[in-house]
């Protein structure tokens, strides 16, 4: 064999090996994008259909947890994708997520619990609890704060601005109202932070401590809170964002962001930022069904559709919940998110169905979008 022939064969062999390596890389990458972990249980045909759908979303990068109950039976409780990609830790139904504005229903329940305890009334004006109230705000009621009709702006600053309670109350009292109190629905995180401040002033406890003793412990929700649960670090979901070019960035866990000693600063406290699990939120649903936390009278107040969310909407706001009429009857729902973590809760009370879903993969694959698709499968 001539050196020239040997050289040709060497080049051909090299090119073959090179192309084979490219092919293997493509195959491995494709397998890696779909071979994501799932943990949990699935019972029945409908649950299997939901599971196939969410598993497919996980193949596209979604990570989160999902619980589904139908006809009073828990049919799906599962985690999808990775809670921590670097450590290859899978999401489970007990993984801890930031549930965002789903927090508002806990604040509302705490106010109603205090009313049951005879310590306040939702008709009370905030002037009973705060000093130096300006004229335009002195007649604002707790009911108006609960229903987003007090007129306060959506927020008074960034979630993690180091603002403590008294400073926050002063900021709120100096803020310009967007509408006269009681006139117009205007979604306001600020209003719910003021409710959290009232809870603290009435009870002498931190907002989270009151919730833990009066809501979470009776409901056996031991993995829910801001800082009081004894969470293991490997149970906390990492959040991820994805750039337009497809690169992913680890944004850390919810506890990697600035908090005060007793919980979040006041632009977040009471209106968002509670951490919980899919299974704990199922326990919350059960506690509401069984009147473990609130009486029927208190729940009627919570779930009364008080104010329209807008003439173009088919929904009304109650106390920390959105109330809608659907083909399945009454839906009690709320979502939450911060552009990294998302959560959505659906209670179809007339057909005894429940969905709670979380995500940690940014707005591209967020739980709110998926929750309605799960609903379509559940009632198809």
Q: What is the pLDDT along the chain (380 residues), one digit of tens a residue?
A: 443 333 334 434 444 433 343 333 333 333 333 356 666 899 999 999 999 999 999 999 999 999 999 999 999 999 999 999 999 999 999 999 999 999 999 999 999 999 999 999 999 999 999 999 999 999 999 999 999 999 999 999 999 999 999 999 999 999 999 999 998 999 999 999 999 999 999 999 999 999 999 999 999 999 999 999 999 999 999 999 987 767 789 999 999 999 999 999 999 999 999 999 999 999 999 999 999 999 999 999 999 999 999 877 789 999 999 999 999 999 999 999 999 999 999 999 999 999 999 999 998 889 999 999 999 999 98
Q: Give the Cβ contact number of residue 174 at 10 Å.
A: 10
- Of 267, 324, 328, which is closest to residue 70 (Cα–Cα)? 328
pTM: 0.90
- Helix, strand, coil percentages in the chain from 3-state DSSP, rounded to 5: 40, 20, 40
The pLDDT of residue 313 is: 79
Alpha-carbon torsion, ordered 123, 308, 199, 97, to 10 deg: 170
The pLDDT of residue 110 is: 98
- Of 341, 92, 342, 79, which is closest to residue 235 (Cα–Cα)? 92
- Of 284, 252, 238, which is closest to residue 91 (Cα–Cα)? 238
The pLDDT of residue 247 is: 76
Structure tokens at 255: 């506890």
The pLDDT of residue 56 is: 96
Q: CA 163 → CA 139, 265, 266, 290, distances in Å? A: 25, 6, 6, 38
């Amino acid at each position: 064999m001539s050196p020239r022939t040997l050289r040709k064969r060497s080049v051909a062999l090299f090119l073959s090996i090179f192309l084979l390596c490219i092919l293997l890389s493509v195959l491995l990458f494709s397998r890696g994008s779909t071979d994501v972990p799932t943990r949990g249980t699935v019972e029945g045909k409908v649950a299997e259909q939901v599971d196939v759908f969410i598993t497919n979303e996980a193949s596209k990068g979604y990570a989160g947890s999902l619980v589904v109950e139908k006809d009073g039976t828990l049919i799906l409780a599962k985690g999808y994708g990775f809670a921590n990609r670097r450590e290859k830790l899978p999401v489970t139904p007990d993984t801890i997520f930031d549930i965002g504005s789903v927090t508002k229903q806990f604040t509302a329940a705490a106010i109603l619990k205090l009313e049951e305890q005879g310590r306040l009334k939702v008709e009370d004006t905030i002037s009973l609890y705060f000093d130096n109230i300006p004229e335009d705000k002195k007649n604002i009621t707790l009911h108006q704060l609960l229903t987003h009709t007090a007129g306060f702006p959506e927020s008074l600053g960034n979630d993690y601005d180091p603002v403590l309670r008294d400073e926050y109350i002063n900021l709120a009292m100096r803020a310009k109202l967007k509408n006269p109190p009681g006139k117009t629905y205007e979604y306001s995180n600020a209003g719910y932070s003021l409710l959290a401040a009232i809870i603290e002033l009435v009870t002498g406890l931190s907002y989270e401590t009151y919730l833990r003793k009066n809501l979470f412990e009776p409901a056996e929700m031991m993995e829910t809170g801001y800082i009081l649960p004894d969470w293991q670090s490997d149970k906390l979901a990492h959040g991820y964002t994805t750039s337009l070019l497809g690169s992913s960035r680890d944004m850390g866990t919810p506890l990697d962001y600035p908090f005060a000693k007793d919980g979040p600063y006041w632009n977040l406290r009471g209106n968002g930022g509670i951490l919980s699990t899919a299974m704990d939120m199922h326990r919350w649903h059960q506690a509401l069904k069984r009147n473990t936390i609130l009486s029927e009278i208190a729940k009627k107040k919570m779930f009364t559709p008080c104010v329209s969310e807008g003439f173009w909407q088919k929904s009304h706001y109650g106390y920390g919940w959105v109330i809608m009429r659907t083909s399945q009857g009454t839906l009690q729902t709320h979502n939450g998110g911060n552009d990294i973590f998302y959560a959505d809760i659906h209670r179809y009370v007339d057909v005894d169905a429940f969905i709670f879903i979380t995500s940690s993969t940014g707005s591209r694959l967020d739980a709110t979008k998926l929750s309605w698709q799960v609903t379509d499968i559940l009632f198809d």
